[in-house]
């Protein structure tokens, strides 16, 4: 296993300057975790300000084979930014400039450290916005969004990050700088932008992103449908789809979750409900009005006890404040929780909710649910006491059981959080060994020495079917 020698450390300091790095143990503590439950500490964190500096950092660590992990805001939920093998973490927080706003072509060019919401804020007065909106959009950065192919509530109609990224500048593990894609709608040849978006920092380090901007809709309506039965609430989603209606967002909160949210945000959610749907429609005025009435009929037929339409922008913002701040609301009840990210077909939402309830009983854990119901992206939140190691292990086992069930009903282990180090061993349940081998070949093509974010996405070799990630072995956190 390679180590970060004093000579290499001095070379890195020479690249980023005396105020562009951290190496004290008390500082490195802040970079040993993200939004997931695992931890591993880097040996050094560097903060480049230019693509050239990123290139020089990669070259300086290449000869010794030192692992490199890119990090944005650290809001990820699958361990993607955790330096599993130690080495050097490259923090992109200082590469945070909007380089170009091109409204004529509805494009923007940004550095990876630009905060997601800041893209929309920069153009909202001109009638534009950036569609992908993770719940952490006030903090998460576009580089991390590209790495994880982030989604959000409004991706039901608009798509996830890959649908809004047109071009990338990136650094390979040998330090060379390349570009792919551009401002045009489509480039000839293989779709390298699509391949690299969602590759979780295991192939390249992204240093510039060209994103697509969209015009703000003419009309927006936000609906809250309230239910006495979680099953009826879940069935409504499939019935809306059967009517050929595609809202821009369909979010579901179960009773336990909505009570935590309401106590924290006072968003107007009913404390006595079993579940609610938060539905949003956008488009031309006439179309939105017609779809609102159709959705009202569906909700009432499926047993909704109440159907509310937000009357003002303030009321709409408050409802979304409750949804976007849900994880913070959970933190008021439990200081530790484990967020899952499975996907199931819409018709399997109700059975999956019932199964999650069975898992909660089996492992003696409290599990609440908040998720993107429109595309079946489930986010069960497992509460546990971090001071009791046995509880963390039970939480992980419960999470694995839920994701395994998602696979069994035709779903997947992730919809937007990524595989990271949280779910990489489950990849062997989702894909055949031959498919995993091909995925591994792509990784090796871009990163033959296995230095970029090692120990992520692909299985590490714990079982007979999994392929091993060379050349690193698991390293104990410092």
Structurally, the chain folds into a number of domains equal to: 4
Cα distance between residue 145 and residue 132, in whole Å: 9
CA atoms 223, 355, 149, 336: torsion sign = positive
Q: Do 51 and 128 share a domain, yes or no? A: no
Q: Is residue 438 part of a domain?
A: no
Task: Give the integer Cα–Cα distance in Å for 135 and 139.
Answer: 9
321 and 340 both lie in a single domain: no
Please list, residue by residue across 138-147, b when 16 or more beta carbons sit within 10 angstroms of its beta carbon and e when fewer do: eebbbbbbbb
Are residues 74 and 152 both part of a single domain?
A: no
Looking at the structure, tell me whether residues 120 and 210 fall in a common domain.
yes
Same structural domain, 225 and 196: no
Structure-block tokens of residue 247 = 């809202």
Q: What is the CATH number of the domain that holds 80?
A: 3.30.43.10
pLDDT value, residue 269: 95
CB 273 within 8 A of CB 226: yes
471 upstream amide cis, omega within 30 of 0: yes
Q: Are residues 118 and 193 in the same domain?
A: yes
- Report the alpha-carbon distance of residue 221 to residue 318 in Å, rounded: 13
Are the C-beta atoms of 451 and 6 separated by less than 8 Å?
no
List the one residue out of 145, 88, 30 whose CA is nearest residue 418.
145
Question: Tell me, what CATH number does 362's domain have?
Answer: 3.30.70
Q: Per the domain annotation, does 466 fall within a domain?
A: no
Beta-bridge partners for 71: 91
**Residues 117, 176 share a domain:** yes
| 422 in a structural domain | no
Residues 290 and 356 in one domain: no
Helices 326-333, 255-265: inter-axial angle, 10-degree rounding: 90
Show Cβ contacts of residue 26 under 8 Å, excluding neighbours closer than 6 positions: none
Report how far Cα 398 is from the mean position of its chain's Cα atoms.
20
Classify 37 as helix, strand or coil.
Answer: coil
173: buried, middle or exposed (CB in 10 Å: 19+, 13-18, 0-12)? buried
What is the number of alpha carbons within 13 Å of residue 202 lying toward its C-beta? 28
Token pair in block for residue 173: 């593990």
Whether residue 469 is contained in a domain is answered as no
Looking at residue 235, which CATH number applies to its domain?
Answer: 3.30.70.2190
Backbone φ and ψ for 25, nearest 5 degrees, come out as -55, -40
E strand residue ranges, 96-204 = 98-102, 107-110, 128-129, 165-171, 177-181
Does the residue 357 lie in any domain?
yes
Among 274, 298, 327, where does a domain finish? 327
- Report pLDDT for 381: 96
Q: Is residue 413 part of a domain?
A: no
Whether residues 110 and 193 fall in one domain: yes
The residue among 215, 247, 280 that closes a domain is 215
Instruction: Give dist(CA 269, CA 267) in Å, integer.
Output: 6
Q: Provide the 8-state DSSP code for 299.
A: H
Q: Where are the alpha helices (DSSP H) in 380-426?
A: 389-408
Q: Tell me: do 23 and 112 sit in the same domain.
A: no
440 is a domain residue? no
Write the CATH number for 174.
Answer: 3.30.465.10
How far apart are alpha carbons 186 and 166 in whole angstroms? 8
Does residue 444 form part of some domain?
Answer: no
pLDDT for 354: 96
Confidence (pLDDT) at 2? 57
Judgement on whether residues 170 and 197 belong to the same structural domain of the protein: yes
- pLDDT tens, the chain, 478 aa long: 557 999 999 999 999 999 999 999 999 999 999 999 999 999 999 999 999 999 999 999 998 999 999 999 999 999 999 999 999 999 999 999 999 999 999 999 999 999 999 999 999 999 999 999 999 999 999 999 999 999 999 989 999 999 999 999 999 999 999 999 999 888 889 999 999 999 999 999 999 999 999 999 999 999 999 999 999 999 999 999 888 899 999 999 999 999 999 999 999 999 999 999 999 999 999 999 999 999 999 999 999 999 999 999 999 999 999 999 888 899 889 989 999 999 999 999 999 999 999 999 999 999 999 999 999 999 999 999 988 889 999 999 999 999 999 999 999 999 999 999 999 999 999 999 999 999 999 999 999 999 999 999 999 864 433 333 444 433 333 3
Helix %, strand %, coil % of the chain (to 5): 40, 20, 40
Q: Are strands 21-22 and 44-46 parallel, antiparallel or unpaired?
A: antiparallel
From CA 217, how far away is CA 78, in angstroms rounded? 33
23 and 60 together in one domain: yes
- Domain range for 182 is 98-215
Q: Which of 70, 91, 112 is the last residue of a domain?
A: 91
Q: What is the model's pLDDT at position 461?
A: 67
Residue 419 has a pLDDT of 97
Nearest in space to 330 (alpha carbons), one of 377, 289, 384: 384
């Amino acid at each position: 296993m390679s180590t970060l020698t004093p000579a290499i450390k001095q070379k890195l300091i020479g690249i980023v300057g005396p105020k562009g790095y951290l190496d004290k143990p008390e500082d490195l503590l802040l970079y040993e975790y993200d939004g997931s439950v695992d931890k591993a500490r880097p040996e050094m964190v560097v903060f480049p300000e230019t693509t050239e500096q990123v290139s020089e950092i990669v070259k300086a660590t290449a000869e010794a084979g030192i692992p490199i992990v890119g990090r944005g805001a650290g809001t990820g939920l699958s361990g993607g930014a955790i330096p599993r093998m130690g080495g050097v973490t490259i923090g992109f927080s200082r590469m945070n400039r909007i380089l170009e706003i091109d409204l004529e072509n509805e494009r923007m060019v940004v550095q990876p450290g630009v905060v997601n919401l800041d893209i929309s804020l920069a153009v909202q007065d001109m009638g534009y916005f950036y569609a992908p909106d993770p719940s952490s959009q006030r903090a998460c950065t576009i580089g991390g969004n590209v790495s994880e192919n982030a989604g959000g509530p409004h991706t039901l109609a608009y798509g996830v990050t890959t649908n809004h990224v047109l071009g990338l500048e990136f650094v390979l593990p040998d330090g060379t700088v390349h570009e792919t894609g551009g401002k045009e709608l489509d480039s000839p040849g293989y779709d390298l932008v699509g391949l690299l978006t969602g590759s979780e920092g295991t192939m390249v380090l992204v240093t510039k992103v060209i994103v697509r901007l969209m015009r703000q809709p003419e009309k927006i309506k936000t609906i809250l449908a309230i239910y006495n039965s979680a099953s009826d609430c879940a069935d409504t989603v499939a019935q809306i789809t059967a009517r050929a209606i595609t809202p821009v967002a369909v979010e579901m909160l179960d009773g336990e979750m909505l009570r935590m949210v309401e106590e924290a945000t006072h968003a107007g959610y009913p404390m006595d409900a079993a579940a609610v749907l938060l539905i949003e429609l956008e488009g031309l005025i006439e179309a939105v009005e017609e779809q609102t009435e159709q959705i009202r009929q569906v909700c009432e037929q499926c047993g909704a006890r109440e159907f509310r339409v937000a009357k003002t922008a303030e009321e709409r913002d408050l409802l979304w404040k409750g949804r976007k701040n849900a994880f913070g609301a959970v933190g008021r009840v439990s200081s530790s929780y484990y967020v899952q990210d499975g996907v199931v077909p819409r018709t399997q939402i109700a059975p999956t909710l019932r199964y999650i309830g069975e898992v909660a009983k089996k492992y003696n854990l409290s599990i609440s649910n908040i998720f993107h119901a429109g595309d079946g992206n489930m986010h069960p939140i497992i509460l546990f006491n971090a001071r009791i190691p046995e509880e963390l292990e039970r939480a992980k086992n419960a999470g694995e059981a839920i994701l395994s069930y998602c696979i069994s009903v035709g779903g997947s282990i992730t919809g937007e959080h990524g595989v990271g180090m949280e779910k990489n061993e489950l990849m062997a349940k989702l894909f055949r060994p031959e498919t995993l081998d091909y995925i591994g070949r792509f990784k090796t093509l871009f990163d033959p020495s296995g230095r970029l974010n090692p120990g992520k996405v692909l299985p590490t070799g714990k079982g007979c079917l999994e392929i091993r990630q060379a050349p690193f072995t698991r390293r104990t956190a410092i």
